[in-house]
Structure 1
Amino acid sequence: MDKDKVKILVIDDEPKVSWLLSEGLGKIYEIVYAKDGLEGLQMVSKTKPSLVLLDIKMPGMDGLEVLDKIKSMDRLTEVIMLSGHGETKNVVESIKRGASEFINKPFDVKEVEIHIQSVLEKTRLKRELDHLKNELKTKSQYEILVGDSPKMLQIKTIIEQVADSELTVLIRGESGTGKEIVARMLHTLSSRKNEPFVKVNCAAIPRDLLEAELFGYEKGAFTGAHKTKPGRFETANKGTIFLDEIGDMPLELQSKLLQVLEQYEFMRVGAIRTIKVDTRILCATNRDLNKALKDQTIREDLFYRLNEVTINLPPLGERREDIPLLIEHFLQKYNTLYDKKYRPLSSRSIELLQEFDWPGNVRQLENLIKQVVVREDEEIIYDTLKTPSVQTGSYSPQKPSFSETRNYSLKKRVGDAVAHEEKALISEVLSKTNWNRRKAAGLLEISYRSLLYKIKEYQLAG
């Protein structure tokens, strides 16, 4: 039986109907059939069909009763009703009880095929929508600021204090430290939470388009402006606008932004009247704005206006005590998102992750944990951290050698002993197989990739 075929159960007391559908649709679908309601319910339980074609008039248990029982067993099972008695009351009652469609007998097989395709397509779209909703729910659930180090607790306190205010907040920090998460938290904890949150990356939009993107434009304002277009500030009305990389905003636009900050009004490009908006403004940058002020690449009045409240996010290297919490958080996030059941990391992996310098900050750690979960392979950590492109110069995750200075830590002594024996055994097996790595991996009962990693880790050479 073709496992890729959609399974359709036909419940009808007329053998001719089942035969006709099997002959006409058997090449496309897997057709199974039952001669009455009782057998049909047993088949639903046993075969788990994607779709049921159900006759409404049968001896014993009628179609409507069978429909009720099918829906009580699995409400997601789609049912198309068949009837030679197409009374309106039957059609309405069937739909009320959960039937997807209603086909009158006698029917043309091609007509039935069209109905089946329509129902299956609707089912596919519904499942896709449910998946996207769950994914969105998962993402929002995990868009929180993780960490209980003193610096992070102080930041969380500031967020709670200023979230439900109209103060302009400037979020500063290196790339990957979580500036957008802070902005979204400020929005979510405010009275504007049910209104739009609009993000604009000032560095990603070309200078000559940024004004039109932020403030909109009137029809005919420039070549190609065939119709009036509202800007991001109008879109964010009643809500929050998040201006990321504010330090990259051109000097000539800063005066217009200042006008919005102070008077809550602006003009579209090519317009002659002002537009009023009620928008909370949050900004973020990874640039040194004090230096930008000295270099005169940011207006002094805008600088002080943006500085009503400043949140400084520390790089991950300055809050290493939060790394175990972040690891657990990302493991849960991606296990849920990708329907995985990947186990917690080993203590050795966590230690290595805590020792690393993380030039890409939390984003770099998150991407690494995502790979581990998706590929279900913890060794990715060691391979990645040893790669020169992610090294910062001083750190290299080498496994401690057995000959290191004597240490009374039981955990470390056991780890050293295991490493020593592992290296010796791998060397012995490689010699025995004349360095046939695939053969050696088979004898060691580990994957070929794992063996290559161990050879590299212990610096073994043939």
Structure 2
Amino acid sequence: MEKLLVVEDDIGIQKQLKWTLDTYDVIFADDRESAISSLRRFSPRVVTLDLGLPPDEENASEGLATLQDILSLDPSCKVIVITGNDDKQNALTAIKLGAHDFYQKPINDEELTVIINRAFFVSAIESENAKRDVLDSQDSAVIGTSPKIMHVKSMVDKVAPTELTTLLLGESGTGKDLIAREIHRKSKRSDQPFVAINCASIPENLLESELFGHEKGAFTGANKTTPGKIECANGGTLFLDEIGDMPYPLQAKILRFLQDKVIERVGGRNQIPVDIRIVCATNQNLREMVLEKTFREDLFYRVSEIVIDIPPLRERNEDILIISRYLLNQSSEMLSRNFTGFSEEATSALMAHHWPGNIRELQNKIKSAAVMSDTKLITDSDLGLDIDEEQANASLEFSLKVTREKAEKEALSKALNYCDGNLSNTAKCLGITRPTLYNLLDKYALKS
């Protein structure tokens, strides 16, 4: 039997709720101290909380303090605050602090039971999702359930056990480094080094030495023999990030290494065999660069045995809130604060924003919001996203009704154009009767 904590100092209401909520194991507390004690002892998933608690029964200060204490101890707990009939402001304050729902007195047994049942249902769903997220995180570091990112995950699972050179294509901030590490983690070389080098961040005259190493005395300042990144990755995986920015002359040496699996240090004569897996990434169009003669065609085909296109965040809207909640949990741990989630306005803003900086931009916004927030609920002002109201409202159109109406209107318009406005032919084309067609024309204001 599920445990339900009822924080209420009115004996009469306690008796009423005891009989009403007989399907639950009801635990009663009549003040802040006993409520926290019961929470620690029984760990209920749902709590009903009367805001008018002693010693401040006439106001809500003690009740709101109790709410904050409960959520600080157990952020996942669903707290239903119970307020006076004309106390809407305190109810809204409680919701802002993280309460799940509120109910205004006088208590109607059936209504309150429905709210409590719903809270338990939501808690059960969140608990199941949390378990699933843990299992998913154990198997993959790539977060998301959108079709495009699921396709990427599937490709990673298939490519990782092979030795094929993999090319990751995607805009800046889409997580190419994360995908590369995931390929290494799931490969047979996972217990060997993963070495990354950004070809765009190292000056051209130093990049060759960084990759291949150098012998003592090879150039001014070379006071000792130093192995390069390729040697350091021996047995493991070398990640060449932003390979599109690699200088053209150096591309020939990389191609030779990929073909022969041997290197020569700068200033050296000995050939050194190296066994590594290569993963490359770029945000540039290598095919266009090949046509422009800024990237070697033979190297392009050598590094693109498998190509994985990583979608930008704006093309995987289903994942925005999932990633946002994950990043907020990370910020909670970093700041030692317990955030309960995002307000409705913040959710709208997250979904409506275009995210030109992709996941990197989202990560920065969530971190900043967590630092700036004064409550446990992240608001749109905390995020600081410049979104107009029309965009925000459009981002929340998830319902089947809205989706169906959009599809109906589009099909109706196409049929009318196809039939050149002839209503009889339009009805036949759509497979509906003329009266139904008239109703649809009225509904979508297409009659003219």
TM-score bin (small chain) = 0.5 to 0.7
Q: Is the 8 A contact 1:142 1:333 kept in 2?
A: no
* Aligned partner of 2:254 among 253, 257, 276: 257
Equivalence map 1:207-222=2 (5 Å):
207-222=204-219
Look up the match of 1:178.
175
Q: Is the 8 A contact 1:177 1:316 kept in 2?
A: yes
- Residue type of the alignment partner of 2:186: L
* Pair 1:384 & 2:393 matched: no
- Residue type of the alignment partner of 1:348: E
Distance in 2 (CA, whole Å) between partners of 1:305 and 1:264 is 13
Cα distance, 1:194 vs structure 2: 1.4
Look up the match of 2:144.
147
Equivalence map 1:381-460=2 (5 Å):
381=381, 384-386=384-386, 396-397=388-389
- What's the CA shift string for 1:72-106, capped at 9, x where partnerless? xxxxxxxxxxxxxxxxxxxxxxxxxxxxxxxxxxx
Equivalence map 1:48-447=2 (5 Å):
144-377=141-374, 378-379=378-379, 381=381, 384-386=384-386, 396-397=388-389
Distance in 1 (CA, whole Å) between partners of 2:354 and 2:166 is 28
Residue 278 of structure 2 aligns to a residue in which SS? strand
For normalisation by structure 2, the TM-score amounts to: 0.54
The change in CA–CA distance for 1:357 and 1:230 in structure 2 (over 3 A counts) is same
Cα distance, 1:382 vs structure 2: 5.9
Distance in 2 (CA, whole Å) between partners of 1:142 and 1:250 is 37
- Residue type of the alignment partner of 1:218: E
Distance in 2 (CA, whole Å) between partners of 1:263 and 1:253 is 16
- Residue type of the alignment partner of 2:385: L
Q: Is the 8 A contact 1:258 1:302 kept in 2?
A: yes
Q: Is the 8 A contact 2:166 2:279 kept in 1?
A: yes
- Residue type of the alignment partner of 2:360: R
The change in CA–CA distance for 1:304 and 1:329 in structure 2 (over 3 A counts) is same
Distance in 1 (CA, whole Å) between partners of 2:392 and 2:247 is 52
Cα distance, 1:336 vs structure 2: 2.2
Distance in 1 (CA, whole Å) between partners of 2:275 and 2:381 is 47
- List 4+ stretches of structure 1 deviating above 6 A: 140-143, 398-401
The change in CA–CA distance for 1:223 and 1:399 in structure 2 (over 3 A counts) is closer
Distance in 1 (CA, whole Å) between partners of 2:256 and 2:206 is 19
The change in CA–CA distance for 1:364 and 1:300 in structure 2 (over 3 A counts) is same
Cα distance, 1:143 vs structure 2: 8.3
Look up the match of 2:130.
none
Q: Is the 8 A contact 2:243 2:280 kept in 1?
A: yes
The change in CA–CA distance for 1:185 and 1:147 in structure 2 (over 3 A counts) is same
- Residue type of the alignment partner of 2:299: L
Look up the match of 1:50.
none
Cα distance, 1:154 vs structure 2: 0.6
- Residue type of the alignment partner of 1:260: F
For normalisation by structure 1, the TM-score amounts to: 0.53
- Residue type of the alignment partner of 1:384: G
Distance in 1 (CA, whole Å) between partners of 2:339 and 2:143 is 20
Cα distance, 1:163 vs structure 2: 0.6
- Residue type of the alignment partner of 1:292: M
Cα distance, 1:346 vs structure 2: 1.5
Distance in 2 (CA, whole Å) between partners of 1:282 and 1:227 is 29
Which segment drifts farther, 362-371 or 211-220?
362-371
Cα distance, 1:278 vs structure 2: 0.8
5+ long unaligned stretches in structure 2: 1-136, 400-448
The change in CA–CA distance for 1:221 and 1:153 in structure 2 (over 3 A counts) is same
Cα distance, 1:226 vs structure 2: 1.0
The change in CA–CA distance for 1:357 and 1:384 in structure 2 (over 3 A counts) is same
Residue 385 of structure 1 aligns to a residue in which SS? coil
Between the two proteins, what is the percent identity of the paired residues? 46
Q: Is the 8 A contact 2:352 2:392 kept in 1?
A: no
Distance in 1 (CA, whole Å) between partners of 2:157 and 2:194 is 18
Distance in 2 (CA, whole Å) between partners of 1:177 and 1:220 is 41
Residue 384 of structure 2 aligns to a residue in which SS? helix
Residue 160 of structure 1 aligns to a residue in which SS? helix
What is the aligned length?
Answer: 256
- Residue type of the alignment partner of 1:160: D
Distance in 2 (CA, whole Å) between partners of 1:345 and 1:371 is 14
Distance in 1 (CA, whole Å) between partners of 2:254 and 2:201 is 17
Distance in 2 (CA, whole Å) between partners of 1:332 and 1:373 is 10
Cα distance, 1:142 vs structure 2: 11
Distance in 2 (CA, whole Å) between partners of 1:232 and 1:399 is 47
Distance in 2 (CA, whole Å) between partners of 1:346 and 1:142 is 30
